[in-house]
Structure 1
Amino acid sequence: MKPNIGLINSMIRITAGFSMLTYLTIRGARKEGSSSHPLLIIMASLKIAEGIVRFCPLTALYESAALETDGKEEPWAQNLPDDA
């Protein structure tokens, strides 16, 4: 896995992940009957992990989809009919 996010971006992800995780933990602890949604807790944990390893799978997927297979970057062509 080659890092695909920068140092500043990773620090922002770690900070945002810990902030979200702290908020969700406090929210779940205050109300006795309710708990925080597990999916939100997993998302916060993933942001922390992405920041630590400096790899984002969604960024990698976007970068691989944005590049052409022959190595040349070409603009997306729009095949519009000529109504002239």
Structure 2
Amino acid sequence: MQKNVGTMDAIMRITCGLAGLAWATSRMVKYPRRGLPVGMAMLCALRVAEGVTRFCPILHLRGKNTLDKGTGNDVGTKLRPVDTSPERT
């Protein structure tokens, strides 16, 4: 299983997944016999797992990834040099 989820994407998946799990848990405590919180909890748990393992099966099926192409580094880890030459007018 090869990584296809970048660092920022993984952090967002984990954060949103944990927030969704908290919401679903609070709803399941208040209304235990409803199906929406259970389904939401399953989807959010999937997002957390994708963020932790950094592998998304949907991206894999589509043949895409959120990593930087060519170098294997994550998008956003490269810094471009700033042009500080005095010749700019």
Shorter chain as denominator, the TM-score bin is 0.5 to 0.7
If you compute each CA radius of gyration, which structure gives the higher value, 1 or 2? 1
Aligned partner of 1:3 in structure 2 is 3
Q: TM-score, normalised by structure 1?
A: 0.67
Q: String of CA shifts for 1:45-69, please: whole Å, max 9, x gaps.
A: 10000000000000011117xxxxx
Q: Per the alignment, do residues 36 and 25 of structure 1 end up closer, same or farther by CA in structure 2, a change over 3 Å counting? A: farther
CA RMSD of aligned residues (A): 1.6
Q: TM-score, normalised by structure 2?
A: 0.63
Q: Tell whether the 8 Å contact from 1:4 to 1:56 is kept in structure 2 after alignment.
A: yes
> Secondary structure at 1:11's aligned position in 2?
helix
Q: Which runs of 4+ in 1 moved over 6 A?
A: none
Aligned partner of 1:16 in structure 2 is 16
Aligned partner of 2:49 in structure 1 is 49
Q: Could you list the runs of 5+ residues in structure 1 that have no partner in the other structure?
A: 65-84
Q: Per the alignment, do residues 35 and 24 of structure 1 end up closer, same or farther by CA in structure 2, a change over 3 Å counting? A: same
Q: String of CA shifts for 1:18-39, please: whole Å, max 9, x gaps.
A: 00000010011123x5345332
Higher share in helix: 1
Aligned partner of 2:28 in structure 1 is 28
AA aligned opposite 2:33? S
> Secondary structure at 1:3's aligned position in 2?
coil
